[in-house]
Chains A and B, each alone.
Chain A
Amino acid sequence: MLGVRNAGIAGWLDAQLAMPPSSSMWAWLVAKGYDAAARRLSTIGLDEMVWRKLLTAPDVLRQRTVFALTELFVVSITGLQGNWRQFSLAAYWELLEQNCFGTYRNLLEKVTLSVAMGQYLNMLGNQKENAATGRVPDENYAREVLQLFSIGLVELAADGTPRLGSDGKALESYDQATITGLARVLTGWTYDGLNNDSPEYLRKSMAHNPALHSLLEKRFLGVTIAANTAGLQSLKIALDTIANHPNVGPFLGRQLIQRLVTSNPSPAYVARVAAVFADNGSGVRGHLGAVVRAILTDPEARTVPTAATAGKLREPVLRFVQWARVFNAASAADTWFGSTLDVNRLGQSPLRSPSVFNFFRPGYVPPNTALGAQGLVVPELQITNETTVAGYANFMQSVLPNGAGDIKASYGDWLATANDAGALVARVNLLFAAGQLSEATVTTMVNAVAAIAATTDTARLNRIHAATLMCLCAPEYLVLK
C-alpha cells in the first residue's frame, strides 16, 4: 500500500513487473534436505514452500499472477505420480514465475513440456500408434490444452461472447478429429534423465524420442501436418497454431479478469484486455505482463462498482494470505503449515485442486439465486456451502489467536490501536476491506469490540481477533469490489 502511495499505481506496477522472481522454492526444498533419495516418495515441503512464498515474498504481483495461473493451467499433487512430487511442483511454480509476464506462446511451450504437466495430463510417456496392439496416442493433454489452456470449447468474438451459427447455437471450436490429430503431435515425450538419486530431472523439460513419435498425417484446427514430419517441428506448428488462434485473448483474458478482479466483466472490458493480448502496443502478441497491467488498470477495475452484482467472492486461500500479510505472519522455525484443503480449514489449498478443472469453474452459475436468474457466474460460490462457510469461520477463529501450524501473526503494533474500538475497526476495515465495510457493519463491530474491556494485553488481543474475525466473515468483506 505504501509502495502504491509513493510510486502511484503505474509506477508500482512497473516496479512489480520488473522485480525478479523471489527466492527459489526448489532451493528451499533442497536446503531442507527433501531431495534425499530416501525421501523421493514423500511430498513433504509442498504446502510449506507455497505458504512461504504467498505469505512473505516481495514480488507480490508475480506471486498473485502465478497463483491465478495455477488455477488456469492446473497441475495438482492429486493426480501426480512418481518421485519427489513437491519438486515437480516447485519446478512448475518457478516456470510460471519466470514466464508469467512474458509471452503466452512461450508460457504454453514451457507448460506443455514441463514434467509436472507431462505427468498430470499424461503427455509424458505418450507414444505413437501401434497397429499390432491396437494402441493409439493418449488424448488427454491434446484435449485439455485446447479446452482449458488456450481456446475453449466454442468460438469467441474478441469480447469473449460466443460466436453463433445459423442455428443460433454456439460454434464449437474443435471436434474429436482435431483431438485425434493433436494427440499424434504430442507423442514421443519422455523424462530427461529419470533416476532415483536426484530430482534434478524434474525441472528439465521433457525429452523427445523420435522413435516414439507418430509420423502419420496430423490434422487439427484447420492445419495439416504432412506425414513423416519430425516431432519437434510438429510441436512447433501445433503450439504456433494454438497460440495464434483468435480465441486465446478473450478466453484467457476473461478468466484472468475473473481471477484478479471480477466474476462478470463486461464484454467491453474483455475486449480491451483481448486487444492488449493481440498487441501490447509494440507489436507483440500474447504479452502477459501487458495483459495483467491492462486488467488491473482498466476503468472497470479502477472504479468502485455500484451494481448489486459486481465484484467477486474472495477465494478462501486469499483471505488466509491476507490475514498473514496484514499481521506480518512468519514461521520462526521455517516449517510453515500444511494443506488447507479440508472443509474444516479453507476447503481450498494451492496445488491441491481435485482435478484439472480447478476448485471452481469460470462458468459456474449459482442455482436458485437472483444471480443465476440473470445468467451471472460466481465461480467461487461453487465451493461455498453450508459446510465450508462454517469450516472457514471456525478455522480463522482458531488461526487468529493460535496461528496456523508454525505460522504466527504479529499483533504487537496493533495493541495500542486496540485500546480504541473505533480506531481498531477502522484499521481492520482499511487493511482488509479497503474501507468498504458499511457504516452499519462498522457500528455493529465497534459496539461488540467495545464490550471487551481493554484492560490487559490479553483483552486487547481478544479485541483484535474479534474485530478481524467479524470482518473476515462479513459478506461485505467477502465480496471483493
Chain B
Amino acid sequence: MTTATTRREFLRRTGALGITGAAAPWALNLAAIGAAAAQSATDYKALVCLFMYGGNDHANTVTPYDTTGYNAYQAIRPTLATPREQLAATALTPDVALPDGRRMALAPQLTGLKVLFDAGELGVLLNIGTLVQPTTKAQYVAKSVPLPPKLFSHNDQQSVWQASSPEGATSGWGGRVGDLFLSSNAAATFTCVSVSGNAVFMSGKVANQYQVSPSGSVRLVGAAQPLYGSQACSDALEALVTAPRTHLIENEYSRITRRSIEADAQLSAALAAQPALTTTFNTASEISRQLQMVARVIQARSALGARRQVFFVSIGGFDHHDLLLAQHPGLLTQVDDALAAFHAATVELGVAGSVTAFTASDFGRTLSSNGDGTDHGWGSHHVVIGGAVRGRRFYGTPPEVAVNGADDVGQGRLLPTQAVDQLAATLATWFGVSASDLPLVVPNIGNYTIKDLGFFA
C-alpha cells in the first residue's frame, strides 16, 4: 500500500542525507523526482538482484527438453550438451504448457530452484535481454530500430542491464526505484544495499548504494577507540576523515567515510539485536554469505525503520569461453544453494510474500560451441522467486533451438523477445511505483505496449 507524500517531506528526507547545501547543484535532480510524488509505504517489500557476472550460459541453465528441441540443442553443441537423462529430475512441468509441445528443464544442479518452481514460488523468464524497444530480426538486420549500445561487450552490457546505458552510467533502475521510496525509510542509507561492492544498478539519481560486506559493516576502529592509546589522535583522525572538503574527490572520499561510520553504528546495533536465523546458509560459498547478510538486514528491517529496500548480490566466473562443463555446474550449484536458502530464510522471517528475488547477467551466450565453451550472446533465461510470484510458469516464448534461426542473430545469439525494461517495470510496479512514475525508473518503458510481464499473481 502506498500513499503519496508531499514534495516537501521528500526534500526533508533527502536533505537529511546530506545532499543539499554545498552539494546543491547536482541535487537539482530532485526537481524531477520531487515533482513526481515520492511514494511512501506502510508495509514492507524488498527486491533482490542476483547478478551472474561474465554472461551466464543460458542454454545449459534452462535447457530444451522436448525431444525435438533437445535433439537440436545436442546437435548444435554436442561436446557441451547436458545428457538428456540427467535433465529428467529437473524437467519442468508448468501449470500452463509451452506451445508446440516445447518443454524445458533446469540444469541438473538446480534442484532447489526446481522445488521452488513446483511450489509455485518461481517463474522462468524465457529469452529476456537488453532492448531499446521491441525488435524483430528483420529490424535488427536492417538496423531500422535503435539497438542497445555496445552489444556483446561485458562491462557495457552489464551496465545496460543495470542502468539502460553503457559504462559511465550513473544511475540504475534499482537505485531509481529506491529514489522513490527514500521517504518511506527512517534511514535512507539502507534503501539500496549492495553486499557485493559497486554496481550501477543500485545508484539512484539521489539514492546512494550502501555497500556492506557479507559479514556486515566494518567499523573504522581508529575513529571509534583510542588510536595507539591516544584519544586525542582518535579524535583527530575522525575529524580528518569526516570533514567536508572543497576538493571534490577529497569530499567524496570523506562523504563515503561519514556514511561508513554512521551506517556501521546503526546497522551493527540493529543486527546485534536480532536472534540468529535458523535457516542454514552454506558459509563456504560467497554468494550464500551475501544472501545471508541480505536476509539478516531484512530481519532487522524494523530496527532500521526500513519499509522498502533494494538489494544486490553477485557471483562472478560465468564467462565460459573455456571449461564450460568443468566450471559452470559448480557455479550453478552455488546459485541454487544460495537462492534456496535465501527463500527459506524469507519464509522463516514471515516475509516470503514481501521479497522478490531475480537473476540477471551480462548477456546470454552463443548456442554454438567454440570447443569447450561458448561466446558472448544477448538474450538469456532468468528466474524470479518469491511468495508474490505466480510461479510454476514460464513467461515469454521459448526460442527456436537453432543457429541462424528465427530467434538468433548468429551462432545462436538470442534476439531478446522480452526486455529488461519490462522486467524492471514489472518489479517496480509490484514494489509500489505508480504508472505515471514508471518512466523515472525505466526511461524507455513508453516504447513497450506490454509494461507488465505478468509474473505477479
Residue ranges of A at the interface with B (Cβ–Cβ < 8 Å): 79, 81, 121-122, 125-127, 133-140, 143, 147, 153, 172, 176, 179, 263, 308-313, 343-344, 354-355, 357, 361, 363-373, 376-378, 381-391, 393-394, 397, 401, 441, 444-445, 447-449, 451-452, 462, 465-466, 469-470, 473-476, 478-479, 481
Q: Is there a chain A Cβ closer than 8 Å to B429's Cβ?
A: no
CA distance A288 to B260 in the complex (A): 41
User: Given A81-B323, A397-B222: A370 and B26 within 8 A (CB)?
Assistant: yes
Establish whether residues A470 and B240, one from each chain, have CB atoms under 8 Å apart when the complex forms: yes
Q: List 12 A-B contacts (CB under 8 A).
A: A133-B369, A176-B410, A355-B154, A361-B167, A376-B248, A385-B211, A387-B212, A390-B220, A393-B241, A466-B227, A469-B222, A469-B237
Complex contact B323–A140 (CB within 8 A)? no
Which residues of B245-270 have CB atoms within 8 Å of chain A's CB atoms? Answer: 245-254, 256-257, 259-261, 263-264
- Are B321's CB and A309's CB within 8 A? no
| Residue B69 at the chain A interface, CB threshold 8 Å | no
Distance A172 CA – B454 CA, assembled complex (angstroms): 37
CA distance A153 to B167 in the complex (A): 11
Q: Within 8 Å CB of B249, what residues of A?
A: 263, 309, 311-313, 371, 378, 381, 475, 479
Q: Please determine whether B237 and A470 come into contact, CB atoms closer than 8 angstroms.
A: yes
Q: Is B275 an interface residue (CB 8 A)?
A: no
Chain A: which residue is nearest B216 at the CB level? A387
**Interface residue range, chain B:** 35 or more
Give complex CA distance A451, B375 in Å.
62
B379: min CB distance to chain A, Å = 15
Contact A386 B236 (CB under 8 A): no
Q: List the A side residues contacting B78 at CB < 8 Å.
A: 133-134
Q: Does the CB pair A473–B241 fall under 8 Å?
A: yes
With A386-B212, A397-B227, A475-B241 known to touch, is A373 a contact of B25 (CB < 8 Å)? Answer: yes
Q: Establish whether residues B25 and A448, one from each chain, have CB atoms under 8 Å apart when the complex forms.
A: no
- How near does chain B come to A222, taking the closest CB pair, in angstroms? 19
Contacts of A81 in B (CB 8 A): 322-323
Most buried by B among A313, A369, A386, A481: A386
Contact of A473 among B151, B222, B232, B248 (CB under 8 A): B222
Interface residues of B (CB under 8 A from A): 19, 23, 25-26, 53-54, 75-79, 150-156, 167-171, 175, 197-198, 200, 203-213, 217-223, 227-230, 232-233, 235-237, 239-241, 245-254, 256-257, 259-261, 263-264, 316-317, 319, 321-323, 366, 368-373, 375-376, 403, 410-411
The 4 closest A-B pairs by CB, nearest first: A448-B236, A475-B250, A451-B232, A385-B211
A127–B371 CB distance below 8 A: yes
Q: Which of B171, B247, B317, B321 contacts A139 (CB 8 A)?
A: B321
Contact B25 A370 (CB under 8 A): yes
A344 to B212, CA, bound (A): 12
Chain A proximity of B23: nearest CB distance (Å): 6
Residues of B within 8 A of A134 (CB): 75-78, 368-369, 403
**Chain A residue at minimal CB-CB distance from B372:** A125
Contact, CB under 8 Å: A153 / B245 = no
**B321 and A122 contact, CB distance less than 8 A:** yes
A390 in contact with B260 given A368-B19, A445-B236 (CB within 8 Å): yes
